[in-house]
Chain A
Amino acid sequence: MLRAVSWLVYVFLYAPIAVLVVFSFNSERQTAVWQHFTLDWYRVLFRDKLIGHAVANSLVVGLVATVVATVIGTMAGLAMARHVFFGKRATRSLLYLPVIVPEIVVGAALVSLFGFIAMRLSLTTVILAHIAFSISYVALVVQARLTGFDWSLEEAAMDLGANRWQTFWRVTLPLIAPGVLAGALLVFTLSIDDYIITSFVAGPGATTLPLQIYSMVKTGVTPEINAVSTLLLVVTIGLIAAAQRLETSRR
């Protein structure tokens, strides 16, 4: 009984995704009735300039946001795990805020800021927004990774004559690298998937892939959307599988 219910839930979790993927190969355009196998929608997709542009924007935003947020977030994670400093409790709350505050509020607040300082909406504002909501995730992942970290290793390195910088690069970073990479992949996934916040702060010409898909979805369900969704699924699941392997390895 319990087993059967669990199986049903798994079907509920995967059937919609499976249906979406299967019908991206269906030659019938209007209805969800299977005709025959085709790759036409993928061909249409690869020729679609708007989608190409959106993918390029998403990659730029995702890569820049990931690099910046990972560096800053890792530093914050180290500070939180290793140091006692003035304002640590407030900083902990500050780090939780972007995780807790609803995305719709974050987007509205950011666009209020950009309006207030008269900053034109563009790809830059999208990147800034993505950095802002990502830092916390990296910091929390790195901090979690550092609980139980054997700090005597750092001490040993310093006793053996390494300076702080060498100790960090040769001892600490390699040990926390899986956590840092997992955080980076998390940020990249959040970034290339974000619709709500991006929709508030994207300027003209700064359409990212989710924005593009959203406007396509709003105009009507088409097999091209199934195809682009399938590709997005493959990329995100691939990234997550990679992150999982990094997380579990060397634990």
Chain B
Amino acid sequence: MRTAPHSSSPRSAFLLISPTWIVLGLLFLAPLAIMCWLSFQQRGLYGGIEPGPTLANYVRSFESSYAVIYARSVWIAVATTVICLVVSYPVAYYIALKARPERKNFLLALVVIPFWTSFLVRTYAWMFILRDQGVINSLLMSLGVIHEPLPLLYTPLAVMIGQVYAEVPFMVLPIYASLEKLDRSLLEAARDLGASAAAAFWRVTAPLAMPGTVAGIVLVFIPSLGTFITPDLLGGAKGMLVGNLIQNQFGPALNKPFGSAVALVLTAFVLASLWAYAAWARRRGEELAL
């Protein structure tokens, strides 16, 4: 790397970085610290706070009625990740290894554009498609295939569809990046040595693309864990996930201390997943793809 001219000037570095320290300190670290403090307090009347300190919120957050919500969140996140992987791999593979080079950027842009559009709008689109008077049910009923609308909206399936829809670009991009870097002569060598196309894929391509694949898994799994909009709009009343639980405690349930404890449990889980990923990448000597 070329050396920067005044890299040794601590004063200008300090001037440049201190606004970020101040803003993120006051509006990011301080809020997290206050939430941490809150999680050890007790709930007062009408959403107030009684001074703690108590571990009751954490104990309560692991009671079975909430464990079910965690389990459901993890299950939805895992299912979303697996479906995303299955859906995204062929696309990434096609763009990286099969598409004509001059079309690659266009095909990639087509994957990314939906990600830039409003998450809310994209989720609403699925409400519009899946509801009883929605596109699918209207079509099937007018064709006479069904006479009663199928219950599609407000189901775990709807949540998964919405979630997969939102997260696919995050899976395609890192897998594409890994496949694109792959040395194609290795594939040719495998085929020349008699490997079938499937064997070449499983023994050469897939292992070499593992860093991007794992990065994609992390990039999809983590936001899916804390998702709120998809379960709130597409999931049924019984489909509460961690994100909804936190929102509910801060909103209608008027129990910020308990909501804080759940939020910190979620954050801890997210950070632990990332830490595991970083450890895995470091052990392989990979550069972090995040």
Q: Which of A45-53, A83-91, A173-181 contacts B (4 or more CB under 8 A)?
A: A83-91
Query: For A83, A111, A132, A218, which residue has the most chain B Cβ atoms within 10 angstroms?
Result: A83
Q: Cβ of A86 and Cβ of B270 under 8 Å apart?
A: no
Shortest Cβ distance from B24 into chain A, in angstroms?
Answer: 6
Query: What mask results when residues 75 to 116 of chain A are scored 1 for a CB within 8 Å of chain B, else 0?
Result: 110111111111000010011011011111111111111011
Cα separation A217 to B87 with both chains bound (whole Å)? 29
Residues of B within 8 Å of A158, CB to CB, are 5
Cα separation A126 to B107 with both chains bound (whole Å)? 36
Residues of A within 8 Å of B87, CB to CB, are 9, 12
Q: Which residue of A lies closest to B39 (CB)?
A: A112
B16 at interface, CB cutoff 8 A: yes
Shortest Cβ distance from A160 into chain B, in angstroms?
Answer: 13
Q: Which of B28-36, B51-59, B208-216 contacts A (4 or more CB under 8 A)?
A: B28-36
Shortest Cβ distance from B101 into chain A, in angstroms?
Answer: 16
Which of B8, B28, B120, B133 is close to A195, meaning CB atoms less than 8 Å apart? B120
Q: Cβ of A104 and Cβ of B247 under 8 Å apart?
A: yes
Q: Cβ of A108 and Cβ of B117 under 8 Å apart?
A: no
A118 at interface, CB cutoff 8 A: no
Cα separation A132 to B267 with both chains bound (whole Å)? 18
Shortest Cβ distance from B91 into chain A, in angstroms?
Answer: 5
A20 at interface, CB cutoff 8 A: yes
Q: Cβ of B121 and Cβ of A233 under 8 Å apart?
A: yes
A169 at interface, CB cutoff 8 A: no
Query: For A9, A10, A104, which residue has the most chain B Cβ atoms within 10 angstroms?
Result: A104
Which of B27, B110, B124, B243 is close to A225, meaning CB atoms less than 8 Å apart? B124
Cα separation A195 to B139 with both chains bound (whole Å)? 32
Q: Cβ of A237 and Cβ of B113 under 8 Å apart?
A: yes
Shortest Cβ distance from B59 into chain A, in angstroms?
Answer: 20
Whether A72 touches B23, Cβ cut-off 8 Å, given contacts A6-B91, A115-B256, is: yes
Residues of B within 8 Å of A16, CB to CB, are 122, 125-126, 128-129, 165
Q: Cβ of B246 and Cβ of A195 under 8 Å apart?
A: no
Q: Which of B64-72, B180-188, B219-227 contacts A (4 or more CB under 8 A)?
A: B219-227
Cα separation A12 to B162 with both chains bound (whole Å)? 11
Give the residues from 88 to 132 in chain B that come closer than 8 angstroms, CB to CB, to chain A: 88, 90-91, 93-95, 98, 107, 109-111, 113-114, 116-122, 124-129, 131
Query: What mask results when residues 28 to 56 of chain A are scored 1 for a CB within 8 Å of chain B, else 0?
Result: 00111100000000000000000000000
Which of A72, A128, A129 is close to B20, meaning CB atoms less than 8 Å apart? A72
Q: Cβ of B90 and Cβ of A221 under 8 Å apart?
A: no
Query: For B35, B116, B168, which residue has the most chain A Cβ atoms within 10 angstroms?
Result: B116
Give the residues from 47 to 86 in chain B that come closer than 8 angstroms, CB to CB, to chain A: none
Cα separation A236 to B5 with both chains bound (whole Å)? 39
Give the residues from 265 to 281 in chain B that come closer than 8 angstroms, CB to CB, to chain A: 266-267, 270-271, 274
A66 at interface, CB cutoff 8 A: no
Q: Cβ of A112 and Cβ of B223 under 8 Å apart?
A: no
Shortest Cβ distance from A166 into chain B, in angstroms?
Answer: 14
Residues of B within 8 Å of A91, CB to CB, are 17, 20-21
Give the residues from 205 to 239 in chain A that come closer than 8 angstroms, CB to CB, to chain B: 210, 213-214, 217-218, 221, 225-226, 229, 232-233, 236-237
B199 at interface, CB cutoff 8 A: no
Q: Cβ of A17 and Cβ of B125 under 8 Å apart?
A: yes
Whether A150 touches B34, Cβ cut-off 8 Å, given contacts A16-B165, A104-B228, is: no
A144 at interface, CB cutoff 8 A: no
Cα separation A14 to B88 with both chains bound (whole Å)? 15
A189 at interface, CB cutoff 8 A: yes
Shortest Cβ distance from B235 into chain A, in angstroms?
Answer: 13
Query: What mask results when residues 120 to 159 of chain A are scored 1 for a CB within 8 Å of chain B, else 0?
Result: 0000000011011001100100000001111110110010
Residues of B within 8 Å of A82, CB to CB, are 4, 6-7, 13
Shortest Cβ distance from A45 into chain B, in angstroms?
Answer: 14
Q: What are 5 contact pairs spanning A and B, CB under 8 A?
A: A6-B94, A13-B111, A16-B122, A76-B16, A91-B21
Chain B interface (Cβ < 8 Å from any Cβ of A): 1-10, 12-17, 19-21, 23-24, 27-32, 34-35, 38, 87-88, 90-91, 93-95, 98, 107, 109-111, 113-114, 116-122, 124-129, 131, 133-135, 137-139, 142, 165, 168, 222-223, 225-226, 228-229, 233, 242-243, 246-247, 250, 256, 259-260, 263-264, 266-267, 270-271, 274
Chain A interface (Cβ < 8 Å from any Cβ of B): 2-3, 5-6, 9-10, 12-14, 16-17, 19-20, 23, 30-33, 71-73, 75-76, 78-86, 91, 94-95, 97-98, 100-113, 115-116, 128-129, 131-132, 135-136, 139, 147-152, 154-155, 158, 164, 189, 193, 195-196, 199-200, 210, 213-214, 217-218, 221, 225-226, 229, 232-233, 236-237, 240, 244
Instruction: Taking A109-B34, A225-B124 as given, write out 16 further A-B residue pairs in contact, using a Cβ cutoff of 8 Å, ordered by the A residue number.
Output: A12-B165, A33-B138, A83-B9, A83-B13, A91-B21, A94-B20, A102-B267, A107-B250, A108-B35, A109-B31, A112-B35, A113-B34, A129-B27, A132-B24, A232-B121, A240-B113
